Structure 1
Amino acid sequence: MTYNSELPPSDVSEQSISLELTCPIGLENILEKELHDLGLSNTRLGEAQVKLSTDLRGMYLACLWSRVATRVMMPLATFKVDSADDLYQGVSDIDWSEHLHADNTIAIDCHGTNHSIRNTQFGAVRTKDAIADYFTKLNGRRPSVEKQNPDIRIAVKIRRDQAIVSLDLSGESMHRRGYRQHGAMAPLKENLAAGLLLRAGWSKDSKYQQIVDPMCGSATFLVEAALISMNIAPGSRRQYWGFKGWKKHDHRLWQQLNDIAKNERVAPSELTVSFQGTDREQKAIAASRENIKRAGLTGVIDVSMSAFQQHDFDWSKQPTLIIVNPPYGERLGDEMALVALYRQLGDWAIENAMEGEMMLLTSSENLARQIPIRPEKSTRVINGGLECRAYRFPIAEDRIKAGSREQVGLSSGAQMVVNRLQKNQKKLNKWLDREKITCYRVYDADMPEYSVAVDIYNDWAHVQEYQAPKSVDEQKAQQRLFEVVSAIPTALNIPETNVVVKQRIRQSGKQQYEKVDQLNHEMFVEEYGCDFIVNLKDYLDTGLFLDHRPVRKIIQEKANGKRFLNLFCYTASGSVHAGQGGAKTSLSVDMSNTYTEWARRNLELNEFSDRDHKVVRADCFEWLRNAEDEFDLIFMDPPTFSNSKKMAGVLDIQRDHVDLIDLAMARLHQEGELIFSNNYRRFELDSELNERYEIENITRQSLDPDFDRNQKIHQCWILKHK
């Protein structure tokens, strides 16, 4: 950054000002160096801040030019707070007339609490009252509150028994440069991105000839890098500053510094460095192009929608800085899915950017270890509330880990899984296209040593690991699971971030209904004209049993004009198909709050009214014993075993299925049909039922080609009255 040091100071600019500049944790040294480069050398480091003694001109320079600072605060008073009255009095003792007029608008931001100031809103109100009373006593007038863009923004920080009252001269967080739309994607803040670039050695005169971001998201790294290279002051686009209504604000001086900054910019035609980025998500590229346009950098930064492994980057300018904020993995299974991605990223960097450097931001030390380069150093930072580290990887021969080049590509085991997945996919393709099916099983422990099921939901892969016998070595099982996960993106052209991994073990009671995570990872899928909400991460099951697809189709074909009953309804997918098939009414019964609510949402999604298509939360056994209504078509798919506290007893499907079927048949019209299914592999239908009902085993017809390899996944019958 440059500025004209010959600008004559005004009288007010010579007055000494004590400031606290906050910044992201881990970037304090970078912020201090920025200030020193501006000629502001009277500094002292703190945690997530740098204290600065300067004049008005120095304050303006810090606001205008700092790429790393979050806020510029001017402390007015520090005092002890043992009560609300102490806070009121301490604020009242400040000479507010030195800083603002009675007709100014103000906003109060209170941070922190103690035993007497128990919430921040109360602290803000007491501060506001003290300032209002100060001016009322002085001249009978008082400032008014304006939360959005006040003339003066006041910050109160309470920690234990101490309060610090400051003017927030920045007005709002300085990471908001003005080029990124509020609420847009990418949680990486602009000042964190800039700080990491500066940490990596990127500057207007750096040794690097190009910067590449292979997972650019909304292009924050690339935009900040271009702003640095073009010597564009990060504060020059901001329209609002907290000092604009401050009594000591010197508009002329501020404008002069802005004019100098504009004259110091480097024109795009004078740039000798290039900026390239890719992302495989269309939404990300759309956001990045909009941000680039809003920053005035169209034609300077080149972004493309592509996976970095397949993109034809221009590597003619060397050395290169690769900077990347890849996905971290929210859980163990997600992290495992990303191991292959990180390895590929490291191999790709070695192949294309030797003698350059890669800066990588991640919250996972395990994933960082997958990069086949020894890091030089790492910096602890906080990104989106997660504790992360920014790793610097010098891309040089002597930094490449021993044996890493021999490990490039998939292992022989993973390649074997790739071959099987591609073979299965090819076998299913014609059927999938003909039936317009987008959710299906592509692999189910075909090779016994790779004991998982792989289901596809649109462009996501849901991997369920079966519990390995105790005789199988745990590390070997973990390695095989990794090989499956690393094979999926290559075999099925699915992003690494779209692979979800779960361990599938035998469930008892209500365990299948319990949450395993809190990610609210919902998506919409379609099946034979019906729409469903599925959740791949939060529960052991996804909300749609894929093996029952043909059964749901049978229900849809039989339902026209019928009164349909769905027992143990789960998420009511069968009821949705019945409604799509023209059912006159449907009633869905399940004892789970989670799934009855999910069922209602599925029915609502398909625009079925709750008047004709009802959902009831109840124990199906008890409900059947007390029911009086008659139905033309009943579907019943009970669990193998349940001892839920919501049930009157314990359900064992082998022991109890006769009573259950008799109760359901009592509710069935004389000409009606009961479709009965369950997934207990050793289940045997009691022969005495043949004496009372007509029974047809439709198990074979109820399995689609994607379950040919596992024909014991369920059994299914149609029962009618004799």
Structure 2
Amino acid sequence: MNTPVETVDTVGQMYHLEITCPLGLENVLEQELHSEGLMDTRLGEAQVKLTTDLEGMYKACLWSRVATRVMLPVANFKMESADDLYEGVKAIVWSDHMTAANTIAIDCHGTNHHIRNTQFGSVRAKDAIADYFVALSGERPNVEKVQPDVRISIRIKRDIVTVSIDLSGDSMHRRGYRQQGSMAPLKENLAAGLLLRAGWNRDCGLTQLIDPMCGSGTFLVEAAMMSLDMAPGLRRGYWGFKGWKQHDHRLWQQLMDFAKNRKKDPAELGIRFQGTDREQRAIAASRENIKRAGLVGVIDVSMASFQQHDFVIDQEKPGLVICNPPYGERLGDEMALIALYRQLGEWVVTHVRGWQFMMLTSNEHLARQIPVRPEKSTRVINGGLECRAYRFPLLDGHIKEDAVAQSIMTPGAQMFANRLQKNAKKLKKWVEKNNIECYRVYDADMPEYAVAIDVYQDWAHVQEYKAPKSVDPEKAKQRLFEVVSSIPTALNIAEANVIVKHRQKQTGKAQYEKLDQSNHEIIVKEYGCEFIVNLKDYLDTGLFLDHRPVRKLIQDRANGKRFLNLFCYTASASVHAGEGGARSSLSVDMSNTYTEWARRNIELNEFSERDHKVERADCIEWLRHSTDEFDLIFMDPPTFSNSKKMSEILDIQRDHGELLRLSMARLSKDGELIFSNNYRRFVLDKDIEEEFSVQNITKLSMDPDFERNTKIHQCWILRHRSEG
């Protein structure tokens, strides 16, 4: 409860207020104040200055939907030392605003050479106020950080200090209907400001509002409160002015009663509010917020994607679609969102033509996926991110009729699409003849578009190579957008089936760490074998496409053989050996993730666990202790590994001699060892060529889809030299 205070006569007194708001919404706030009869205003940065009486101040607090705080500056002075801050605050006539019986809190914003941290500034100001009252009455006010009677703001900008009383007491975006900790990051006053910017207000004449990605329902609740003329401050129990000495309780209560009577009857509203979201948690939060705002029966929300939901739309009446779609925190996320934004743009053009559409996003590349020319955009800050609210009139002349297809592409994207189509056409006969479902269609053919694109059935797997430091990050980002936006048209693949990853060197434990938790798996076929492929969760998919000819070679040579697969990964080579009639196979890898994946691949192809085994072990240590003999061995070790699971660091250039000798010791007299690695500067030890019969089959191990990247791996067949 607020401490009782004496009041002072405020009849005829005028106050010079600073009303803060989200950056970019200053004009909206000013227009809102004018609509309440508060006309003496001046625009500032993220604020509107208002000169008004006590009633006007209360109206600003009660009725402003856009304001963040209502501040009353009480002093402005120059500070050349920390003592100046103390003396300047102490010189204020605090007895005009509070008594020593009041509790206080002090918020300090900004620092300079004299006040190097805000906590020190708060303490110096608190000491000054306490000493003022001790000198006046022998008593001092107590500090209460949560809901003090009087909240004081100290703003330091270079050498100027502004001291204000925070009449709002707490941020005014907190209306009281949304639970703290709600999932939606969009603040209520920002949502209200964007609605007003979009043309929604109590007398706008619009009769329909849809939020197709409503989250916790903030846009819907704010729009309904506007239409019903519900004062946004009506539910707030705490105000900073209630402990202020000049507060007029009777006048405030009169304005509160008037606001309650001003609310319209929902039954007579004639406006439809609809929202959807795919997340159950979001819909649960929105329904709870709607209930707390007293808007049950006014707003309808459903758990569904907007693409599938059957909205009730009256084409004869005007309406507004407004939403805050995801922006994508990581580059791969942004790429995946291209499909969502395109679908959103296609949906509004198809279903609500003639309406207004407003969208908030921090990503201009994603905004370009909307096939409508924006009328204007507003720069705002949301959750610390610089965003833009785009307003799209869904009218002829603004809609790009063919934008969902090629016309949405930039010239760079069109050029890249042409290259993709050319590559796909070149590979088409080979792909169809060999029934190949997974192949590489592009691999940095044009240096400025440094990506690899692999097709997995009707999916596109895009890996961006790490750009040199000389490349402008924004330019690289733009090119990646051009790549992704061109794929659906060029390869006839759905936007949602384009997956993007950033390719960089992986060693040690990082090779096995998950990128995602989607468990997105598909089953693909290759020369009669089936494999589980995961396109999203790991950097690699579970199938190295460049080794396709090597796997076919193993399949052709495996009949009746005992097969050993070292560094087996997901055991795709072992599956091919089994398909080729191998008597047995043993697959060795040190990763839990991949040995389990290997077992699932072997099980998928219905090979018996008794004859086709998987063992988790350090391959080098396993070779040192094994006494088993094999007729066919495949080994594709990593270039480098420092995994803690290994007894020592593996460097393939340095260690391949020992590794090959250990493996050849396990190879039968007439057996073959197929050795491959992807270290581009790898040179085979000459001593190995003297000890064993060595055949370089690198050229033979390349299919047409890797003709442009002949250094993706090197491959040899090793055999024991015949006696004599």
TM tier, shorter chain? 0.5 to 0.7
* Offset at residue 522 of structure 1 (A): 5.8
Distance in 1 (alpha carbons) for counterparts of 2:679 and 2:29: 65
Provide the residue aligned with 1:100 in structure 2.
98
Provide the residue aligned with 2:247 in structure 1.
249
Which of 273, 277, 283 is residue 275 of structure 1 equivalent to? Answer: 273
2:503·2:539 contact (CA, 8 Å) conserved in 1? no
Amino acid at match of 1:346: G
- After superposition, where does 1:275-314 map in structure 2 within 5 Å? 275-314=273-312
Provide the residue aligned with 2:159 in structure 1.
161
Amino acid at match of 1:254: W
After superposition, give the CA deviation of every residue in 1:222-272 in whole Å (9 maximum; x if it has no partner): 110000001100011111111111111111211111111011111221111
Query: Structure 2: 5+ residue runs without aligned partners?
Result: 1-7, 425-435, 446-450, 468-475, 522-533, 545-567, 575-587, 599-615, 629-634, 667-673, 692-711, 718-724
Provide the residue aligned with 1:393 in structure 2.
392
1:455·1:463 contact (CA, 8 Å) conserved in 2? no
- Cα separation, partners in 2 of 1:306 and 1:630, compared to 1, 3 Å: same
* Offset at residue 98 of structure 1 (A): 1.4
* Offset at residue 657 of structure 1 (A): 2.4
Instruction: Give the stretch that moved more between structures: 352-361 or 59-68.
Output: 352-361
Which of 28, 31, 51 is residue 30 of structure 1 equivalent to? Answer: 28
Task: State percent identity of aligned pairs.
Answer: 57
- After superposition, where does 1:120-519 map in structure 2 within 5 Å? 120-316=118-314, 318-401=317-400, 403-404=402-403, 444-445=439-440, 451-453=452-454, 463-465=462-464, 481-484=484-487, 501-504=500-503, 507=505
- Cα separation, partners in 2 of 1:94 and 1:552, compared to 1, 3 Å: farther
1:522·1:535 contact (CA, 8 Å) conserved in 2? no
Distance in 1 (alpha carbons) for counterparts of 2:10 and 2:285: 43
- Cα separation, partners in 2 of 1:454 and 1:325, compared to 1, 3 Å: farther
Distance in 1 (alpha carbons) for counterparts of 2:151 and 2:452: 60
The alignment status of 1:42 with 2:40, answered yes or no, reads yes
SS of residue paired to 1:290: helix
After superposition, give the CA deviation of every residue in 1:620-642 in whole Å (9 maximum; x if it has no partner): 99x98xx9x99999xx9852157
* Offset at residue 344 of structure 1 (A): 2.8
Distance in 1 (alpha carbons) for counterparts of 2:380 and 2:200: 18
Distance in 1 (alpha carbons) for counterparts of 2:455 and 2:150: 58
SS of residue paired to 2:253: helix
Provide the residue aligned with 2:655 in structure 1.
656
After superposition, give the CA deviation of every residue in 1:89-118 in whole Å (9 maximum; x if it has no partner): 000001111111212111111000001101
* Offset at residue 345 of structure 1 (A): 2.2
Distance in 1 (alpha carbons) for counterparts of 2:137 and 2:65: 41
Provide the residue aligned with 2:527 in structure 1.
none
After superposition, give the CA deviation of every residue in 1:37-58 in whole Å (9 maximum; x if it has no partner): 1111111111110111111111
- How does the TM-score come out when normalised to structure 2? 0.67
2:515·2:539 contact (CA, 8 Å) conserved in 1? no
Distance in 1 (alpha carbons) for counterparts of 2:716 and 2:276: 49
* Offset at residue 151 of structure 1 (A): 1.0
Distance in 1 (alpha carbons) for counterparts of 2:657 and 2:223: 71
Distance in 1 (alpha carbons) for counterparts of 2:59 and 2:213: 33
Amino acid at match of 2:337: L
Distance in 1 (alpha carbons) for counterparts of 2:48 and 2:141: 31
Provide the residue aligned with 1:433 in structure 2.
none
- Cα separation, partners in 2 of 1:504 and 1:455, compared to 1, 3 Å: farther
SS of residue paired to 1:12: coil
Residue-pair matches, total: 583
Amino acid at match of 2:257: D
Amino acid at match of 1:61: K
- Cα separation, partners in 2 of 1:522 and 1:340, compared to 1, 3 Å: closer
Distance in 1 (alpha carbons) for counterparts of 2:13 and 2:483: 69
Instruction: Give the stretch that moved more between structures: 485-494 or 18-27.
Output: 485-494
Root-mean-square deviation over aligned CA pairs: 5.3
- Cα separation, partners in 2 of 1:104 and 1:467, compared to 1, 3 Å: closer
Distance in 1 (alpha carbons) for counterparts of 2:77 and 2:453: 63
Amino acid at match of 2:116: R
SS of residue paired to 1:399: coil
* Offset at residue 664 of structure 1 (A): 11
SS of residue paired to 1:398: coil
Distance in 2 (alpha carbons) for counterparts of 1:292 and 1:714: 63
Amino acid at match of 2:369: Q
Amino acid at match of 1:277: G
- How does the TM-score come out when normalised to structure 1? 0.67
2:442·2:453 contact (CA, 8 Å) conserved in 1? no
* Offset at residue 342 of structure 1 (A): 2.7
- Cα separation, partners in 2 of 1:476 and 1:158, compared to 1, 3 Å: closer
2:639·2:679 contact (CA, 8 Å) conserved in 1? no
* Offset at residue 181 of structure 1 (A): 1.7
* Offset at residue 502 of structure 1 (A): 2.6
Amino acid at match of 2:24: G
SS of residue paired to 1:303: strand
- After superposition, where does 1:541-690 map in structure 2 within 5 Å? 542=539, 550=570, 573=593, 639-641=638-640, 652-653=651-652, 656-660=655-659, 680=678
Amino acid at match of 2:485: F
* Offset at residue 400 of structure 1 (A): 2.1
After superposition, give the CA deviation of every residue in 1:563-622 in whole Å (9 maximum; x if it has no partner): xx986x6xx6469999xxxxxxxxxxxxxxxxxxxxxxxxxxxxxxxxxx9xxxxxx99x
Amino acid at match of 2:366: L
- Cα separation, partners in 2 of 1:523 and 1:476, compared to 1, 3 Å: closer
* Offset at residue 368 of structure 1 (A): 2.5
Provide the residue aligned with 2:548 in structure 1.
none
SS of residue paired to 1:452: strand
Amino acid at match of 1:482: S
Provide the residue aligned with 2:560 in structure 1.
none
Amino acid at match of 2:351: N
